[in-house]
Amino acid sequence: MFELHASKVSNLKNDVLSGLTVALALVPEAVAFAFVAGVEPLVGLYAAFMVGLITAAIGGRPGMISGATGAMAVVMVSLVAIHGVEYLFATVVLTGVIQILAGVFKLGKFIRLVPHPVMLGFVNGLAIVIFLAQLGQFKVTNDAGELVWMQGNQLFTMAGLIVLTMAIIHFLPKLTKAVPSSLVAIVVVTVLVQSLGLDARTVVDFVRDMTNDPAASIAGGFPEFAIPQVPFNLETFKIILPFALVLAAIGLIESLLTLTLIDELTGTRGRGNKECIAQGVANTTTGFFGGMGGCAMIGQSMINVNSGGRGRASGITAALALLCFILFASGLIEQIPLAALVGVMFIVVIGTFEWSSFRILNKVPKADAFVIILVSGVTVATDLAIAVVVGVIVSALVFAWEHAKHIVVNRTVDDKGSTVYEVNGPLFFGSISNFLEQFEMDQDSDDVIVEFKNARVADHSAIEAIDTLAERYLSRNKTMHLRHLSPECRQLLKKAGNLVEVNVIEDPDYHIATDKLA
């Protein structure tokens, strides 16, 4: 899925250098997402520092980068606009608490329910989103204070520097892998622009355009602890709870899917529940220190992995370097050309997008191809959480529809003259109609045996179908026996009463979960 230039083995040098590369790319992203959420740039930068540091230190996926993200920022904007930034901080704290509870109750395992076509749609959709986000760097502020597209020499300079950055990242690993090619590209392009005096937009230009403040800067102090200044009452809780639930869901979905992707790229396995807790601790903390919260960032995680970052030191270095930029080196970082950072992100786009999905569209089932395209489109049009939920629902419905056809009932007569129906396949809500249609009740003997040895009763709808079958035979004065039915199902067959005969010795224990048992 992604061609890695660096070794899969973690070492401190690679972690530190890749962390520095990631930190440089985090600056404009954090500022942009703060702008989307309607808060000051430092609110986004503080979130990137704190969320990145805590998740790197205690998270379940070493090498994964977390920080302020656009998926969460778009949810925050209405809250900030209506109630103010202090309510955002309170919401972020509650978001963290919910995520911690998700980890404690081990809900991270449910990421396994995401089918592979949804994963393909996820990475393709995010690659498109990352690409579209970079196009905003091609806009400048005109004399009227409006953002307009670059033209003339400025546009050609921007494009040329992007191509140079991408070329360095691509070809340098063929010569040496001693240092991350992305870091070298950023340094080379920055030195070139400064030494030649090229007319190229820099990080500080971007910050000033976003804030519409000609004196804006990323410089700031150390984040300070403060309890959100909101009334501590039920009314406040009612305001922030819906936002916190959505933010927690989006944050965990994006983090766990990114974790799964990093697992695939590195050939290792992260711990989803531990990551849930880490994300929660990070968001709870950042809410008390004036940050906007965040989650895993697939773009920066790809930069880190591709630059050789594998251990916790890479994420910790990125977070601490970002703090140093804010405290001590804002003047230097603000001079980095945006073209260098855009070039890095374009390489991420190329590496993240699953190009083989075009080749396999005609080879996989049409439903899977549809899910890949659907999830990609919904990710671009709305957000990741909605896209994943839609993809899982569609995949589940397709699965149910296909397996509804797999219930087969074979009719025979045994040596005692009893009619025996052998059920094969899963019995669940989608297959019960087909199941009931295969019984020839009027032609059966007075003694009927339904054999479930090769079947699985999956849900309460299946239990009700068995009840219905028993009632139909009862109305015809015929006796129905059930064999090899799980004990959990037998407990729910109240209507069948003494008509149910079960071979307890041979019955396996399937541990079928039902609503009544829960």
Q: Do residues 322 and 415 both lie within one domain?
A: no
User: Is there a domain that residue 7 lies in?
Assistant: no
Q: Do residues 101 and 149 both lie within one domain?
A: yes
Q: Do residues 172 and 226 both lie within one domain?
A: yes
pLDDT band at 229 (very low <50, low <70, confident <90, very high): very high
- String of DSSP letters for 369-400: HHHHHHHHHHHHHS-HHHHHHHHHHHHHHHHH
Strand 419-427 to strand 408-413: parallel, antiparallel, or no bridges (unpaired)?
Answer: antiparallel
pLDDT, residue 9, reads 58
> Which residues are within 8 A (CB) of 407 and not within 5 positions of it... i.e. 6 or more apart?
423, 424, 425, 426, 427, 431, 434, 435, 438, 455
Q: Do residues 209 and 347 both lie within one domain?
A: yes
Q: Do residues 388 and 341 both lie within one domain?
A: no
CA 400 to chain centre: 24
CA angle 171, 177, 182 (to 5 degrees): 60
Q: Do residues 379 and 436 both lie within one domain?
A: no
The whole-number average pLDDT for the span 439-445 is 92
1-14 confidence digits (pLDDT tens): 334 444 455 689 99
Angstrom CA distances, 235 to 135, 232, 253, stand at 41, 8, 28
pLDDT, residue 177, reads 80
40-68 confidence digits (pLDDT tens): 889 999 999 999 999 999 999 999 999 99
pLDDT band at 489 (very low <50, low <70, confident <90, very high): low
Q: Do residues 115 and 253 both lie within one domain?
A: yes
The whole-number average pLDDT for the span 142-155 is 84
Q: Do residues 336 and 456 both lie within one domain?
A: no
Q: Report helix, strand or coil for 234.
A: helix
User: Is there a domain that residue 508 lies in?
Assistant: no
Minimum mean pLDDT range among 51-60, 200-209, 313-322, 485-494:
485-494
User: Is there a domain that residue 4 lies in?
Assistant: no
Q: Do residues 190 and 266 both lie within one domain?
A: yes
User: Is there a domain that residue 399 lies in?
Assistant: yes
Q: Do residues 308 and 439 both lie within one domain?
A: no
284-337 confidence digits (pLDDT tens): 999 999 999 999 998 899 999 988 899 999 999 999 999 999 999 888 889 999
Total structural domains in the chain? Answer: 3
Q: Do residues 253 and 281 both lie within one domain?
A: yes
pLDDT, residue 514, reads 38
User: Is there a domain that residue 515 lies in?
Assistant: no
For the chain, the average pLDDT equals 86
User: In terms of residue numbers, what domain contains 133?
Assistant: 13-356
The whole-number average pLDDT for the span 407-416 is 91
Q: Residues of the chain with pLDDT > 90: what percent?
A: 47
Q: Do residues 241 and 326 both lie within one domain?
A: yes
Question: Which residue has tokens 């340098």?
Answer: 172
User: Is there a domain that residue 44 lies in?
Assistant: yes
What CATH number has the domain bearing residue 481? Answer: 3.30.750.24
Among 398, 382, 102, 344, which Cα is nearest to 244's? 102
User: Is there a domain that residue 506 lies in?
Assistant: no
- Pick 242 or 461 by higher pLDDT: 242
Phi-psi region of 365 (alpha: psi -120 to 50; beta: other; left: phi over 0): beta
| Structure tokens given for 61 | 């996926």
| Number of helices followed by number of strands (H, E) in the chain | 20, 8
User: Is there a domain that residue 442 lies in?
Assistant: yes
First to last CA, the chain: 41
- Rounded Cα distance between 432 and 75, Å, is 41
